[in-house]
Structure 1
């Protein structure tokens, strides 16, 4: 103990002087060690899922507590060294220290037999320790745009989390990031004072094979939450104790979570060691984020967002069937105490198996949430890897943040689907709020580095819009909306709201306007620049068909393409002479026949072999002044500035040849809106919106318009013909 006190004194002497306000120590704050103490019931205090379920334990036996909630960790700084390597079972002489200067840890670090190193670094105020994992600033952003900066006023856990100076080296991943203890931050606004507890923790587990100097990070994580709090004081409360209903316990004080006021938005500036990389998940409403470099070992992450309503699912369930299988697989049953029912730890919403666990028991929760509350949280886990191609994977720093109000969600980045051109993210939540009547409204958002999303989509320039698709498992139902793709300091952001949760977990997908699946030069269809309007020939042996289901279209390519279940093949409206003719070879034993047509079929008893495309004839020239019969409220398509026929530069030649002629048979895409919902409808002119929808006043052919290519020279793009 004397060593710890001496080290603490040395560390305190190294702290820089600062001007932040500090609450005075309360008289008689030293509390004696005593029995566990639980604060009395307070309707203003927000409880976690486990506390709620403990209060409603069933009278019958053999039930299990099943819930999905962020398991509370100990937000204190400490170091642990063990002799086994990471991932091996069994203790091999574990040593735990409050500071790296503890002689036990100094000796163990020099001993090559200690191959596993773990640290938890509590994030304090950067005013107290600058070279550290810390909070640089917390700012309230009000509805009118004015900002109120918070002051760090009280440091907690001074004895049980004294902290230490940074020895971290990002090049070798060795050493320890600077650490502190949590702080209370105070915002004074208009005569009203509100205290916020910021609980942040950077954790890492390293394998140091044979005592080498470079540390291999096998696990790393960042957890951070902002909580508005109130204090309950009692001399029975001991620093660092784990008391029910307390976010943190300092000497004589229990900090209890209360509700966020409505319509608040916070900007948080974090300093984090560069060991934290990849993607963050969390509970943030409409986040905007970016990163900046601080020094060789630390970066800064700036996030502005509102608290997001978290849909928390949990219930006492009979320990049979799917519940028993869940307990066995998750090993949660091993955490139960003595009693007739299993009072056990829950599953984190971003656990690798959370969506699967939830889906297996979804019907048992009566499609109703346990509780809903506003939350401001950021997390990253070692399982939160990126799913992109190797050429696009980034290993340095934070790459993106994806958030949802769902009860459970996949960890890490959205999954890239190269066939659909979509970043997909699976989530799940019950349909109803705790009252069993009011529907939960889905929320989804992400923000990511612009260079990363450009690499993933293969785009040099990002569009102004993106499409959000919500697809429901089982039914295959799909809902689509067009959203704006925002940008801020080399990061992009978007959000989708107002979708519903059902019994089947939905998948939310993001598709950028103008994306087209790239193919190698060997498989690209030859261009037909000499024949205006002629359809390109398909790859040898393959035919492309268009399948429709309502307003949704899909292209299917193959030797004998078939539409997916529920889709119908669209009949082409182009004259047969303009359609691609394909010749197929049909065989029956040693007999062969050739059949030519737009969609050739073999006679009964014959099997189709190779297909050969037949050169399509040139399309007839279109009259220069001909235009489609567009709806009256659609603006006439205009040629881009600088093209022939435009008033600013008439007659200027195009760098890529003559301007594309207007094609009256070209598909037109319009955007239809109904309140906050929007969908795209594609077809031959005139294109009409579904009943109850109104056409968005943006004509087809405008670069960046939803559903249109960004390249105004792309063949088939409807344009205003040149004046004669």
Structure 2
């Protein structure tokens, strides 16, 4: 019998009080090597012909993989297997379309003038030694839907995932191989029919590094042919990427080694990052004009993967009603193919930012993680989802903030402000136990540019500091090994740093109560600007008028197709439908 998983909301109460010197080293999550691995879709699970069940999987690998480079008319990109893909912005199939959409997988930089490419992949050992990786190959050798670069339009060349060798840095398979799947997604509009499109707007940057074992397959593999089309090699065989006969099989990262990537961009993408990084260091260097180099270095984190299945009749009505809409990412045969839900064979595969489904699955599944998976990746939150937060974020080559954690599900943006409790709230979710029954120990790192934080939450220029506690849902204290909270100067910039390590997930809630020296109400009277969430599902606000005494407008959920976002307004924007 497959182990099942239990997830619960978590809350971290961080009470900001007096000056605090940030020091100390986080305690790593104590996971035994026999617990780490890669989740594969069960051969007898939903999606097989013999099982009539519905299931749910929270595994970042399933959402990071499955994309190929493609350039297409945005209005015709679904279904992906029949979309009219283009080889350039001047391709007849794209020449006169109103809005172009591009997913560009970044390949290695081939010359000093290349943009939207990978300059280097490297590892940093515990003694500080930096080991630069060597590019070995693209896999597949040729992308299925390639397109030409147009640097003047902020569009790179459509490439394929790349395999790198980092000498002496062996993964769990004893290999020195790592797969880089870094991509940018965005769109461009034409001013008029036949005119050149405007610059491509980079809606999201996604960067994932996988430890892999590149091996020949004894059976035929089916590589990706279009976005989400041909994923058997990924989901069944465990490939990070593959062609017809070679699989870069996902394995575990080595422990105690930091990994890094240096990326080039003709223009900077938007910079609020979230993902799976431990103690990240992120820097941006301007090269010439608007061109920048982004460097991200961090240790991988070990994340509990959630998987559970049940028959339709055992699902709570709330979940049944949701799944009958068909408006969710899925794998297998669900409502699109079969009207009778009792005959469905399907997995719901939400992103890690979409935590709302977890609580509804709690009565249905068990309390252990399916597997512990080592991960290294980060994403950016699209700027067009910032709402009235946008004025708080710096322009140009500046990192506004980032949040990273090993929780299975978490909020992608900065904490939201809770007017009632006067706290900054942050939601995480994870199994209580590891696969072998040990307590799952959590890590949480949040850094916000100090000026951005003051704008978002409306506190003054007075020093910020904190006393940290983590409180369980029953009111009891949660064990915390190490916490860092306060302002810290890094490379000449001030950051609000909030971190907690080694806490358990037996249902706490994360809260940050801000107070400053000389502030009577323990909060600023300035107006805050936050209040929207990203279309990926991650909250980036509801931080209305902190300390101003004004009643905030509650968030409402707005849906458009398979996208959703929360908006602090009475009605949804044009083209979006209110849900809930």
What is residue 488 of structure 1 aligned with on the other side?
A: 490
Query: 1:330 and 1:425, CA in 2 relative to 1: closer, same or farther beyond 3 A?
Result: farther
> Paired residue for 1:506, among 478, 501, 509?
509
Q: Separation in 2 of the partners of 1:231 and 1:290?
A: 31
**Among candidates 71, 91, 108, match of residue 106 of structure 1:** 91
Q: What does the per-residue CA deviation read over 1:170-228, in whole Å, with 9 as the maximum and x for residues that have no partner?
A: xxxx4523443221111112898611111111111445575475659788222221111
Q: Find out whether 1:126 has 2:109 as its counterpart.
A: yes
User: What is the CA–CA distance in structure 2 between the aligned matches of 1:58 and 1:251, rounded to whole Å?
Assistant: 22
Q: 1:334 to 1:229 in 2, by over 3 A?
A: closer
| Aligned 8 A contact 1:161 1:180 in 2 | no
1 or 2 for the larger relative contact order (CA 8 Å, sep ≥6)? Answer: 2
2:544 corresponds in structure 1 to none
State the SS of the aligned residue for 1:261.
Answer: coil
* Mapping 1:522-601, distance limit 5 Å: none
Is 1:342 the counterpart of 2:345? The answer is: yes
Give yes or no for the alignment of 1:158 onto 2:159: no
Change beyond 3 A, Cα 1:325–1:294: farther
Contact 1:64/1:343, CA 8 A, preserved across alignment: yes
Distance 1:146 1:511, change over 3 A: farther
1:360-385 per-position Cα deviation (integer Å, ceiling 9, x unaligned): 22232222222112111112354994
**CA–CA separation in structure 2 for the residues paired with 1:325 and 1:216:** 41
* Counterpart check, 1:189 vs 2:193: no
CA deviation map 1:272-323 (0-9, x unaligned): 4546314222111121223222344543322221111111111112223244
Name the CA shift for 1:206/1:158 in 2 (closer, same or farther; >3 Å).
same
> Any residues of structure 2 matched to 1:642-653 within 5 Å, and which?
none
Aligned residue number for residue 274 of structure 2 = 281
User: Given that residues 284 and 305 in structure 1 are in contact (C-alpha distance below 8 angstroms), is that contact kept between their aligned partners in structure 2?
Assistant: yes
Q: In the alignment, which residue of structure 2 is the partner of 1:517?
A: 523
Aligned CA distance change for structure 1 residues 72 and 238 (closer, same or farther; 3 Å): same
Whole-angstrom CA distance in 2 between matches of 1:286 and 1:364 = 35
Q: d(CA) in 1 for partners of 2:330 and 2:47?
A: 19
1:267 CA drift (Å): 2.5
Deviations 1:332-375 (A, max 9, x none): 4875337955233411112xxx2111122223222222211211
Structure 2 CA distance for aligned equivalents of residues 272 and 208 of structure 1:
22
Provide the rounded CA distance (Å) in 2 between the counterparts of 1:304 and 1:154: 23
Q: Retained in 2: the 8 A contact 1:133–1:179?
A: no
Distance 1:197 1:496 in 2: 30
Q: Secondary structure at the match of 2:345?
A: coil
* 2:270 is aligned with 1:300: no
* Cα separation, 2, equivalents of 1:219 and 1:510: 34
In 2 relative to 1, CA 394–252 (structure 1 residues): closer, same or farther, beyond 3 Å? same
Distance 1:229 1:197 in 2: 6
- Answer yes or no: is the 8 Å Cα contact 2:188–2:197 preserved in 1: no
Q: Write the mapping of 1:52-201 to structure 2, written as runs, cut at 5 A.
A: 52=42, 54=44, 62-70=52-60, 71-82=63-74, 94-97=83-86, 99-100=87-88, 105-111=90-96, 114-127=97-110, 130-160=113-143, 166-169=149-152, 174-189=153-168, 194-201=176-183
What is the aligned partner in structure 2 of residue 593 from structure 1? none
Distance, in Å, in 2 between the alignment partners of 1:411 and 1:300 is 23
The answer on 1:47 being equivalent to 2:49 is no
CA contact (8 A) 1:312 1:407 kept: yes
Q: Deviations over 1:39-73 (max 9, x none)?
A: xxxx9994335x14746999995420211122243
Q: 1:259, 1:163 → 2: CA distance?
A: 30
Q: Is the contact between residue 88 and residue 148 of structure 2 (CA under 8 Å) also seen in structure 1?
A: no
The match for 2:216 is 233
Task: Please list every run of 5 or more consecutive structure 2 residues that lacks an aligned counterpart in the other structure.
Answer: 1-33, 225-229, 528-546, 550-580
Q: Hey, what's the Cα distance between the residues in 2 that align with 1:292 and 1:511? A: 33
Cα distance in 1 between the residues matched to 2:484 and 2:462? 14
Secondary structure of the equivalent of 2:307?
A: strand
SS at match of 1:357: helix
Matched residues, number:
461
Distance 2:484 2:389 in 1: 26
User: 1:278 touches 1:386 (CA, 8 Å); kept in 2?
Assistant: no
Q: Shift of the alpha carbon at 1:231?
A: 2.0
Extract unaligned runs of 5+ from structure 1: 1-42, 522-555, 559-724
Q: TM-score, normalised by structure 1?
A: 0.55
Measured at CA, do residues 190 and 349 of structure 1 come closer, stay the same or move farther in structure 2, by a change above 3 Å?
A: closer
Q: Secondary structure at the residue paired with 1:189?
A: coil
The one-character-per-residue Cα deviations of 1:59-103 (angstroms, maximum 9, x if unpaired) are 99542021112224334322101557x9xx999x95202x317xx
- Distance in structure 1 (CA, Å) of the matches to 2:390 and 2:203: 21
Aligned to 2:412: 411
* CA positional deviation for 1:405: 1.2
Counterparts of 2:59 and 2:526, CA distance in 1: 46
**SS of the counterpart of 1:359?**
helix
Contact 2:300 2:375 in 1 (8 A): yes
| Cα displacement (A) at 1:467 | 4.3
**1:329 offset after TM fit, Å?**
4.7
Q: Deviations over 1:412-440 (max 9, x none)?
A: 333245787754321111211123x2111
Name 1:325's counterpart in structure 2.
Answer: 321
SS in 2 for 1:325: helix
Give the deviation of 1:506 after TM superposition: 2.4
Q: Distance in 1 between matches of 2:471 and 2:388?
A: 21
- Give the TM-score taking structure 2 as reference length: 0.68
State the superposition RMSD in angstroms: 4.1
* Partner Cα separation in structure 1 for residue 332 and residue 147 of structure 2: 36
Aligned-partner Cα distance in 2 for 1:520–1:248: 50
User: Using a 3 Å threshold, how does the CA distance of structure 1 residues 336 and 460 change in structure 2: closer, same or farther?
Assistant: same
